[in-house]
């Protein structure tokens, strides 16, 4: 499987690359910096991953061509917020912002510990997106649309603080009809 990560100038992108290679048999992962987004070839990857990064979705215009490329899309942290805003949702400051700490969520009926790094949150959910997991404070932690083959994680499966990061990639592949 060919995976393309669009890197929003983040410092966890290589962790994501290593996780994807470990979790997907035979995966090859390419990384394109956000600055190359207007020109990057979106026809060859089987999966496009939108990375975490500093700031808010409004600072990263140009993702329309990713969503219109007809490819499955997985967004992590800022990437999930970009998915949500593309669908008409909004982003706001998270009360009690959290970085480098763990939380517990339930996804697909299974409780998992996850690492959180975010100052912002999905404030209102975009049209057509379903919240698939949230934490005990009702902060959306996973949302997506199975038919449109888009999925977002607010938490960081690639962190060493997320004990079963590979499980979340397997869930994403299943959700995006890639497994």
Partner 1 sequence: MNTRSTFSASLERDRFDRFAALLARQLDGDLLLSAEGYPSLTESLVGVHPIAELIISATTTPAQIKDFCFNTPDPALGYISYTYGMLLRGVASDKATDFPLGHLKKYAAIAEYADGQATITASDTDLLNRMTALLTGPLDHAAPGPVTGLPDTPPRLSLDQAGYEAGVRETLERILSGHTYQLNLSTRFSWHCPDLDPLALFLALRHDHPAPFYAWLTSGPLRVLSTSPERFLRVEDGHVLSQPIKGTLAFADYSPELNAHLTKSHKESAELSMIVDLIRNDISANCTYDSVRVEHHKSIFQVDNLLQMYADVHGELREDRDCLDLLFDAFPGGSVTGCPKQSSMRIIEELEPHDRGVYCGSIVVIRDTRNMDSSIAIRTATHDTETHTLNVYAGSGIVVDSKPASEYQETLAKADKFLGLGEQ
Minimum distance between the CB of residue 155 and partner 1, rounded to whole angstroms? Answer: 12
Separation between Cα atoms, residue 172 and residue 179, nearest integer Å: 9
Residue 158 near residue 114, CB atoms below 8 Å: no
Closer Cβ to partner 1, 98 or 131, answer by number:
98
CA-atom Rg of the chain in angstroms: 15
Question: What positions carry a catalytic annotation?
Answer: 77, 156, 158
Looking at residue 86, what DSSP letter applies?
H
* Terminal CA-CA length for the chain: 10
Give the residue ranges of DSSP H helices in 24-179. Answer: 64-67, 78-86, 165-175
Minimum distance between the CB of residue 11 and partner 1, rounded to whole angstroms? Answer: 4
Minimum distance between the CB of residue 67 and partner 1, rounded to whole angstroms? Answer: 22
Positions that interact with partner 1 (CB under 8 A): 9-15, 17-18, 21-22, 53-56, 78, 93, 97-101, 115, 117-120, 156, 159-161
Strands 47-50 and 110-124: unpaired
Separation between Cα atoms, residue 74 and residue 122, nearest integer Å: 16
Minimum distance between the CB of residue 54 and partner 1, rounded to whole angstroms? Answer: 4
Strands 110-124 and 90-107: antiparallel
Closer Cβ to partner 1, 145 or 162, answer by number:
162
Closer Cβ to partner 1, 71 or 79, answer by number:
79
Q: Give the tokens for residue 4.
A: 């393309």
Closer Cβ to partner 1, 53 or 126, answer by number:
53
């Amino acid at each position: 499987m060919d995976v393309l990560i669009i890197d929003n100038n983040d410092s966890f992108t290589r962790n994501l690359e290593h996780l994807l290679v470990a979790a997907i048999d035979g995966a090859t992962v390419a990384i394109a910096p956000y600055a190359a987004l207007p020109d990057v070839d979106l026809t060859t990857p089987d999966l496009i991953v939108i990375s975490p990064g500093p700031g808010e979705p409004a600072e990263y215009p140009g993702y329309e061509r990713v969503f219109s490329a007809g490819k499955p899309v997985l967004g992590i942290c800022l990437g999930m917020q970009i998915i949500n805003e593309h669908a008409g949702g909004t982003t706001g400051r998270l009360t009690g912002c959290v970085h480098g700490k763990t939380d517990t969520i339930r996804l697909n009926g299974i409780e998992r510990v996850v690492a959180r790094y975010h100052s912002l949150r999905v404030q209102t959910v975009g049209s057509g997106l379903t919240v698939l997991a949230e934490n005990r404070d009702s902060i959306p932690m996973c949302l997506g649309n199975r038919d449109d083959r888009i999925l977002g994680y607010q938490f960081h499966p690639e962190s060493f603080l997320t004990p079963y990061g590979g499980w979340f990639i397997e869930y994403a592949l299943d959700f995006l009809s890639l497994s």
